[in-house]
Amino acid sequence: MNKKIDNLAADNIRALAISMVEKANSGHPGGAMGGADFLHILYTEYLNFDPTQMDWPFRDRFFMDAGHLSALMYSQYYLLGNYKKEDLQSFRQWGSVTPGHPEVDVLRGIENTSGPLGQGHAMGVGAAIAAKFLDARFKGVFTHKIYGFITDGGVQEEISQGAGRIAGHLGLNNFIMFYDSNDVQLSSMTDEVTSEDTAMKYEAWGWKVITINGHDHEQIRKALNEANQEAEKPTLIIGKTIMGKGCVTANGDMYEGECELHGKPIGDTKADYAKTLINLGANPENPFGIYEEVETHYSKVLAKKAEDAAYKKHHIATWKKENPELNQKMELFLSGKLPELDLSNVVQKSNAATRDASSAVLAYLAEHVENMIVSSADLSNSDKTDGFLKKSSVLQKNNFDGAFLQAGVAELTMTSIANGIALHGGVVAVVATFFVFSDYMKPAIRLAAIQELPVKYVLTHDSFRVGEDGPTHQPIEQEAQMRLLEKIKNHSGHQSLLALRPADAIETSVAWDMALKNTNTPTALILSRQNIKDIPAENSRYQEATEAKKGGYLVKSTHNPDITLIANGSEVSTLLDAAIVLEKEKNLNINVASIISEGLFKQQSAAYQESIIPKGKLVFGLTAGLPVNLEGLIGDSGKIIGLEHFGYSAPASVLDQKFGFTSENVCQEILKYIQESK
């Protein structure tokens, strides 16, 4: 413990952070300057990791909420050797590994992508849940801590209510969060937007709260010591800090705590960049340099980290030898692979709602996949995730033997927590709610897509056929929104999300198989509330439904069809009914296709796509959502019947009649289309 070195190191971080922003002429320097003391103490003295193996599964993890403070993280990791000087110099530039907001890069120490405030610390809560879940199954191995860093904006975001409530309720004593409280926001002072007592709020949620001077290293250590010893509660360390700490004007006067220091280069404020560097002990001629004494200190820190990690690795190696069967299971969990599953063994009821079919699959998974956490936003008996719950139990404070998280009414929080579970590793995350409420989930779904996380979304009550609940609960535009993510490529060049709307119960089993095998992106299962007629099969319906793995396939096939009818979900059975009538009464040859995923279908060969939807032939689409759901499939001359207005409160059968979603009306529309095309 050397006060001089610690102060130098914190100032070095500040100098590096403002230099990055200054060179990029873009970024957020002030908060990075305020948080430097905490990060230095945390990383050098408390955060346990192996510098030679940054993705070591048993490491402590740091989840940044305030993504705009990326310069703080990059500067800290530069001192630890994870970034090069050139990386800091190319901050926010094309091709750089130091983007404007942190993007998950575990080998360099970045555990999560952050930027939209509030989600980062909710992901941290998810990681803490995953660690507790694993610790309950492998005692004494997953004892690491999850640290979070939040600012005034993150505390104000509504998601903090859900994350705070759930973390306190579950007693996540392995979650320690630093709140950088500097009274300054991007465009105002904090007292202009809030007068709440944040400490009392978190205490009411069941947190341990410690308030300190965030620049006093002894107070930081004392708070972290207390937090690490806490056995029952998550800890919030409120660090009172100074925005732009260390800034001075051209004449050497201190210029700290000002709003303008938050979001623009120091040189564009009343502070002076060069004089501030000098005040921080840096050389303006070498602003990206590491101070000699700091470099020496950090080389010792890294050696100590590696030594401590080696000791823990020895402990874990001993545990593995003493627990060979448990170790085999743990290795399977950490590999991200699942045990051998055969969903064709799941017994499905005839003509079932696809939400009920999903429930049957989840009951099977509860007995065959031991590392799955399923969560529902107070709807488990309606979205039918209770199929899993009935074979498991609810996660509780001091008891993580179960595998079901009752998230309460907090869709965004639940979905962000699932991202954190996935980021931690070793656990499969599933979340569920009504499809219409995916609107609340969208920001976290988007981050899952960006981070390439294999979270599974169970989205039920998929159409206006929710009926009596009325337009507030009837998804009309939601499928179009979800399928937009199928059209967006992630940074690996793949479609960023897989959206699956199965046509019957058996196809739901196949869709679940597809979701479980999709380990690179999130998957949305879009499921019906109402019963759906089973798709007829010539032999094994399950075997025929496996063709859905190509994104689309023919559920009814004839030679040289006059017209191809396409849909997904419950509309497929409506088209099949219409096809039978038209073939009998109008002597037409008709093919019917179930296109469970346009994104996946478009990845198939052109020959396969044309075998399902022939070019230059008549194509008719039916969708219970916006017509745009099928526009990418019908070609230039096709026709779509969809819904272009909000729903109404009435029984589903009445709405089918009123909106024209009966086989009789569809027959008329198909005949009209054929006539118009002559």
Catalytic residue flag (residue 411)? yes
DSSP letter at 90?
T
With 0-12 / 13-18 / 19 or more C-beta atoms within 10 angstroms meaning exposed / middle / buried, residue 422 is buried
Residue with token string 């005692």: 139
Residue 273: count of CB within 10 angstroms of its CB:
21
Q: At what angle do helices 119-137 and 438-451 cross, to 10 degrees?
A: 80
Joined tokens for residue 7: 């102060």
The SS3 assignment for 234 reads: coil
Query: What does the alpha-carbon distance between residue 551 and residue 547 come to, in Å, rounded to a whole number?
Result: 8
CA contacts within 13 A on the Cβ side of 270: 8
Please enumerate, as own/partner, the contacts of 187-193 that have beta carbons within 8 Å and a separation of 24 or more. Answer: 187/259, 188/259, 189/259, 190/152, 193/156
Tokens 């555990």: give the residue.
111
DSSP string, 444-476: HHHHHHHHT---EEEEE--SGGGGGG-GGG--S
CA terminus-to-terminus distance, the chain: 86
Measured distance CA(56)–CA(541) in Å, rounded: 44
Alpha carbons 281 and 359: distance in angstroms, whole number:
62
CB 320 within 8 A of CB 38: no
Nearest to 280 by CA among 239, 248, 242, 241: 248
> Could you tell me which of 304, 312, 310 has the C-alpha nearest to residue 43?
304
* Residue ranges in 518-661 assigned as alpha helix (H): 541-545, 571-586, 598-601, 606-612, 628-631, 652-659
Q: Is 566:621 a contact under the CB 8 Å cutoff?
A: yes
DSSP string, 528-559: -SSB-PPPP-SS-HHHHHGGGGGS-EEEE--S
The one-letter amino acid code at 136 reads A
Phi, psi at 145, each rounded to 5°? -105, 155
Answer yes or no: are the C-beta atoms of 73 and 256 closer than 8 Å.
no
Residue 150: in which H helix or E strand, if any? strand 146-151
Interatomic CA distance for residues 634 and 623, integer angstroms = 12
- Tokens standing for 286? 């070498």
Could you tell me the two tokens for 41?
């103490």
Contacts with 485 (C-beta within 8 Å, 6 or more apart), sequence order: 445, 446, 449, 495, 496, 497, 499
Question: Which one of 256, 411, 479, 571 is the catalytic residue?
Answer: 411
Q: How far apart are CA 477 and CA 467, in angstroms?
A: 16
User: Annotated active-site positions, please?
Assistant: 411
